[in-house]
Amino acid sequence: MSDHVAIAPDVKLGSNVKLSKFINLYGCEIGENTKLGAFVEVQKNAKIGKNCKISSHTFICEGVTIEDNVFIGHGVTFINDTYPRATSNGGRLQTETDWKVESTIVRRGASVGSGATILSRVTIGENAMVGAGSVVTKDVPPCAIVAGNPAKFIRFIDDGPGTDPADYTPPGHTLRWAGRSGAFGKR
Protein backbone atom coordinates (compact mmCIF):
# COMPACT_ATOMS: atom_id res chain seq x y z
CA MET A 1 0.00 0.00 0.00
CA SER A 2 1.05 3.55 -0.67
CA ASP A 3 1.87 6.14 1.96
CA HIS A 4 -1.00 8.17 0.47
CA VAL A 5 -3.77 5.65 1.28
CA ALA A 6 -5.45 5.52 4.71
CA ILE A 7 -7.13 2.16 5.33
CA ALA A 8 -8.18 1.33 8.90
CA PRO A 9 -7.63 -2.26 10.09
CA ASP A 10 -11.41 -2.83 10.36
CA VAL A 11 -12.02 -2.35 6.61
CA LYS A 12 -13.19 -5.45 4.71
CA LEU A 13 -11.77 -5.47 1.17
CA GLY A 14 -12.87 -8.05 -1.39
CA SER A 15 -10.42 -9.62 -3.80
CA ASN A 16 -9.04 -7.59 -6.70
CA VAL A 17 -10.18 -4.21 -5.31
CA LYS A 18 -8.35 -1.34 -7.03
CA LEU A 19 -7.48 1.65 -4.83
CA SER A 20 -6.15 4.99 -6.03
CA LYS A 21 -4.00 7.31 -3.95
CA PHE A 22 -5.36 9.74 -1.37
CA ILE A 23 -8.32 7.67 -0.18
CA ASN A 24 -9.68 7.29 3.34
CA LEU A 25 -11.47 4.08 4.35
CA TYR A 26 -12.59 3.07 7.85
CA GLY A 27 -15.06 0.51 9.16
CA CYS A 28 -16.54 -0.13 5.71
CA GLU A 29 -16.92 -3.03 3.27
CA ILE A 30 -15.78 -2.93 -0.36
CA GLY A 31 -16.77 -5.84 -2.65
CA GLU A 32 -14.50 -7.69 -5.06
CA ASN A 33 -13.42 -6.12 -8.35
CA THR A 34 -14.51 -2.64 -7.23
CA LYS A 35 -12.44 0.40 -8.16
CA LEU A 36 -12.11 3.52 -5.96
CA GLY A 37 -10.78 6.73 -7.50
CA ALA A 38 -8.51 9.30 -5.84
CA PHE A 39 -9.77 11.41 -2.94
CA VAL A 40 -12.64 9.04 -2.07
CA GLU A 41 -13.77 8.67 1.54
CA VAL A 42 -15.89 5.75 2.72
CA GLN A 43 -17.03 5.90 6.34
CA LYS A 44 -17.80 3.17 8.84
CA ASN A 45 -20.90 1.06 8.30
CA ALA A 46 -21.00 1.91 4.60
CA LYS A 47 -21.12 -0.99 2.14
CA ILE A 48 -20.09 -1.07 -1.51
CA GLY A 49 -20.84 -4.18 -3.56
CA LYS A 50 -18.93 -6.07 -6.24
CA ASN A 51 -17.88 -4.67 -9.61
CA CYS A 52 -18.57 -1.03 -8.74
CA LYS A 53 -16.75 2.05 -9.96
CA ILE A 54 -16.54 4.91 -7.47
CA SER A 55 -15.00 7.94 -9.19
CA SER A 56 -12.69 10.51 -7.61
CA HIS A 57 -13.66 13.05 -4.95
CA THR A 58 -16.73 11.09 -3.79
CA PHE A 59 -17.95 11.00 -0.18
CA ILE A 60 -19.83 7.89 0.99
CA CYS A 61 -20.98 8.34 4.57
CA GLU A 62 -22.13 5.97 7.25
CA GLY A 63 -25.48 4.35 6.45
CA VAL A 64 -25.00 4.15 2.67
CA THR A 65 -25.35 0.79 0.91
CA ILE A 66 -24.28 0.55 -2.72
CA GLU A 67 -25.17 -2.77 -4.31
CA ASP A 68 -23.27 -4.61 -7.09
CA ASN A 69 -22.42 -3.17 -10.55
CA VAL A 70 -23.06 0.48 -9.60
CA PHE A 71 -21.35 3.50 -11.17
CA ILE A 72 -20.80 6.59 -9.00
CA GLY A 73 -19.46 9.63 -10.88
CA HIS A 74 -16.89 12.19 -9.74
CA GLY A 75 -17.65 14.35 -6.71
CA VAL A 76 -20.86 12.62 -5.62
CA THR A 77 -21.91 13.37 -2.04
CA PHE A 78 -24.17 11.24 0.13
CA ILE A 79 -25.97 12.73 3.15
CA ASN A 80 -27.01 10.74 6.26
CA ASP A 81 -28.77 13.33 8.43
CA THR A 82 -31.89 15.32 7.50
CA TYR A 83 -31.34 18.02 10.12
CA PRO A 84 -27.60 18.28 10.84
CA ARG A 85 -26.43 20.44 13.71
CA ALA A 86 -22.98 21.14 15.13
CA THR A 87 -24.16 21.50 18.72
CA SER A 88 -26.83 20.05 20.98
CA ASN A 89 -29.53 22.17 22.63
CA GLY A 90 -27.15 22.73 25.55
CA GLY A 91 -24.48 24.23 23.27
CA ARG A 92 -21.94 21.38 23.42
CA LEU A 93 -20.56 19.80 20.24
CA GLN A 94 -22.71 16.90 19.13
CA THR A 95 -21.40 13.34 19.25
CA GLU A 96 -22.68 10.12 17.68
CA THR A 97 -25.10 9.71 20.58
CA ASP A 98 -26.92 12.96 19.66
CA TRP A 99 -28.29 11.84 16.30
CA LYS A 100 -29.44 8.79 14.34
CA VAL A 101 -27.89 7.71 11.04
CA GLU A 102 -30.41 7.76 8.19
CA SER A 103 -29.74 5.17 5.52
CA THR A 104 -29.57 5.41 1.73
CA ILE A 105 -29.56 2.53 -0.77
CA VAL A 106 -28.28 2.50 -4.34
CA ARG A 107 -29.62 -0.65 -5.98
CA ARG A 108 -27.81 -2.98 -8.36
CA GLY A 109 -26.74 -1.56 -11.73
CA ALA A 110 -27.69 2.06 -10.98
CA SER A 111 -25.59 5.00 -12.22
CA VAL A 112 -25.17 8.33 -10.42
CA GLY A 113 -23.74 11.22 -12.45
CA SER A 114 -20.88 13.47 -11.38
CA GLY A 115 -21.60 16.18 -8.85
CA ALA A 116 -24.89 14.67 -7.66
CA THR A 117 -26.00 14.98 -4.04
CA ILE A 118 -28.01 12.11 -2.60
CA LEU A 119 -30.03 13.00 0.49
CA SER A 120 -30.70 10.47 3.24
CA ARG A 121 -33.65 8.10 3.43
CA VAL A 122 -33.84 7.50 -0.33
CA THR A 123 -33.51 4.42 -2.51
CA ILE A 124 -32.16 4.68 -6.04
CA GLY A 125 -33.74 1.77 -7.89
CA GLU A 126 -32.12 -1.01 -9.85
CA ASN A 127 -30.60 0.18 -13.16
CA ALA A 128 -31.80 3.76 -12.55
CA MET A 129 -29.79 6.75 -13.80
CA VAL A 130 -29.28 10.01 -11.91
CA GLY A 131 -28.15 12.96 -14.05
CA ALA A 132 -24.98 14.90 -13.29
CA GLY A 133 -25.45 17.66 -10.72
CA SER A 134 -28.82 16.35 -9.55
CA VAL A 135 -30.07 16.60 -5.98
CA VAL A 136 -31.98 13.41 -5.16
CA THR A 137 -34.57 14.13 -2.46
CA LYS A 138 -36.89 11.13 -2.91
CA ASP A 139 -36.85 7.54 -4.12
CA VAL A 140 -35.98 6.84 -7.74
CA PRO A 141 -37.86 3.92 -9.36
CA PRO A 142 -36.00 1.07 -11.05
CA CYS A 143 -34.94 1.84 -14.63
CA ALA A 144 -35.89 5.53 -14.27
CA ILE A 145 -33.86 8.50 -15.46
CA VAL A 146 -34.01 11.51 -13.13
CA ALA A 147 -32.22 14.87 -13.28
CA GLY A 148 -32.30 18.37 -11.82
CA ASN A 149 -32.54 20.14 -8.47
CA PRO A 150 -34.58 18.58 -7.06
CA ALA A 151 -34.23 15.52 -9.29
CA LYS A 152 -37.37 14.96 -11.36
CA PHE A 153 -38.50 11.99 -13.39
CA ILE A 154 -37.48 12.31 -17.07
CA ARG A 155 -38.43 8.92 -18.46
CA PHE A 156 -37.90 5.22 -18.02
CA ILE A 157 -35.02 3.43 -19.70
CA ASP A 158 -36.46 1.31 -22.48
CA ASP A 159 -35.58 -2.36 -22.15
CA GLY A 160 -35.26 -3.95 -18.78
CA PRO A 161 -37.34 -5.06 -15.85
CA GLY A 162 -39.43 -2.59 -13.90
CA THR A 163 -40.09 -0.13 -16.73
CA ASP A 164 -43.83 0.08 -16.00
CA PRO A 165 -44.35 2.76 -13.31
CA ALA A 166 -47.57 1.10 -12.21
CA ASP A 167 -45.48 -1.81 -10.94
CA TYR A 168 -43.39 0.30 -8.59
CA THR A 169 -44.14 0.92 -4.92
CA PRO A 170 -41.12 2.21 -2.99
CA PRO A 171 -39.94 0.11 -0.03
CA GLY A 172 -41.78 1.01 3.17
CA HIS A 173 -44.47 3.02 1.32
CA THR A 174 -48.10 2.39 0.49
CA LEU A 175 -48.13 5.04 -2.23
CA ARG A 176 -47.32 4.19 -5.83
CA TRP A 177 -45.21 6.03 -8.38
CA ALA A 178 -47.37 8.59 -10.18
CA GLY A 179 -45.35 8.55 -13.39
CA ARG A 180 -44.52 11.72 -15.32
CA SER A 181 -45.24 14.05 -12.38
CA GLY A 182 -42.15 12.67 -10.66
CA ALA A 183 -44.06 12.11 -7.43
CA PHE A 184 -45.74 9.41 -5.44
CA GLY A 185 -49.50 9.31 -4.98
CA LYS A 186 -52.52 7.08 -4.74
CA ARG A 187 -53.33 5.31 -7.97
Residues 6+ apart with CB under 8 A from 90: none
Nearest to 105 by CA among 157, 166, 150, 172: 172
Nearest to 118 by CA among 99, 93, 146: 146
> Of these residues, 4, 57, 74, 173, which one is catalytic?
57
pLDDT reported for residue 167: 57
CATH assignment of 5-81+98-177, among 2.160.10.10, 3.90.1150.10, 2.40.10.120, 3.40.50.300:
2.160.10.10
pLDDT reported for residue 186: 44
pLDDT reported for residue 171: 52
Residue 57 annotated among the catalytic residues of the structure: yes
Asked if 80 and 40 touch (Cβ cutoff 8 Å), the reply is: no
Q: Give the predicted TM-score (pTM) of the model.
A: 0.83
pLDDT, tens digit, 9 for 90 and up, residues 104-129: 999 999 999 999 999 999 999 999 99
The count of residues in the chain is 187
pLDDT reported for residue 19: 95
> Which residues of the chain fall below pLDDT 50?
175, 180-181, 184-187
pLDDT reported for residue 78: 98
Residues 6+ apart with CB under 8 A from 92: none
pLDDT reported for residue 154: 92
